[in-house]
Structure 1
Amino acid sequence: MTKSRGINRPKAVWTDDQLETLRRLYSNYRTEDIAFLIGHTLDSVYRKANSLGLKKTAEFVAAQSARQLNRPDHPARESRFQKGLVPWNKGVKGVAGVQEACRATHFRPGQQPHNTLPIGSTKFDKSGVLLQKVSNAPGNGSKRWRAVHELVWVRENGPVPPRHIVVFKPGMKTNVLEEITIDRVECISLAENMKRNTRHNLPPELNQIVQLKAVLTRQINKRMKHGQEEHR
């Protein structure tokens, strides 16, 4: 570990009593007052409170905000609504004709966008896997789109078991709809899938390239770190 050589400030030391005081007071008292009481800098108190997950209560924050707004020099006072001021749009329900035009473009309950694809449509995801639309359910896209190879397996075998995944058998992957058949896919555990994708299963020459790349990356990072330390 590289020493700071006196450049960095000494690390603040907290006693058990100081920590107990901080936990007890932080939620409902000003941080400046707590720092003065404990004997630590304001920054040190903020950092320690953050590391302990301490937060101000909503009531304290609201009270502090109200107190700040009541200051005569607070800039927000100039833009506040004054007592008795009538809003310029009081009683205005909308301009005739504009409301009717807006209604024509409103979405109705259950209405789908004009570019919604029908159920059964297919598309490719970012990795080139062929997906098929299975529903118009709102929310996450995974509720509407499923991988075709998974659907093929499910039609033959039922739901995918927990902690399992449907994949193509080695060397049989395809994204052509007609070629995705039950003999090309299988259901394996997540652990087995991880084993299949480890670098140890790569061809020897490719495995060596991966190892060399990792060594090169470590050397580059080491040299960059060394150069940064010399310029401090």
Structure 2
Amino acid sequence: MNPIAQQAFDDALARLDGMPGRRTKDRKPWLLEDEDRLCALYPNTPMPELIEAFRRPYWSIYNKAYALGLKRSEAYLASEHACRLRRENNPGAGTRFQKGQASWNKGVSYVAGGRSAETRFKPGALSGKAALLLQPVGTERVTKDGIRQRKIRDDGPPQRRWKSVHMILWEESNGTVPPGHIVVFRDKNTEHIEIDNLELITRAENMRRNTIHRYPPELKSTIRQLGKLKKAISEASNEKQDD
């Protein structure tokens, strides 16, 4: 790994190691005295204090408490330390619509301004998917991946009614594509649909061409380390949102 990537990776690990609730594997076993102590503390002790007392991540403490059948006390649930939804009785009841209550805009006609009238669906108009199903055989479209397709049939599942134009061209010249093979573009240009630009390869070969195994060893190592770095940062961000 190059020095810049290594430094970024080390900095991320250092930040993660300093997080008390980091979700890493809890290698320290729970002893009987630890369980007895948790039974005594869990009903009334806030989680930050439990983390400090046991030197374990929050999820490990929650899991052990669940396994032991421990519950928070009524006093704790009524205190400021408990989650508001658990602390309050029927939270939000005062702001909900009551039975029979009318909304503020009942009976008020709404007229959209601007170009709304021009862009509304007209009576009998079809959505995009429905319109595609009614396209005649021979119609062509381009997918979001840039692959040109042609409608070849009106029956059967919708996804089988369309076929890639380059596949049609290949099969017209060479016959059916064997199982486990695909047809790819030699120059990677999906708009260059010519028989000389098409190549039949196995799916395994296609995977090799599109993975890091085609790169030099030092570059493969850097890509793997950057992947680990992104995963560590993502986990840290998700856990921070959960707190």
Q: TM range, normalised to the smaller chain?
A: 0.3 to 0.5
**TM-score when scaled to structure 2?**
0.42
**TM-score when scaled to structure 1?**
0.44
Structure with more relative contact order (C-alpha pairs < 8 Å, separation 6 or more): 2
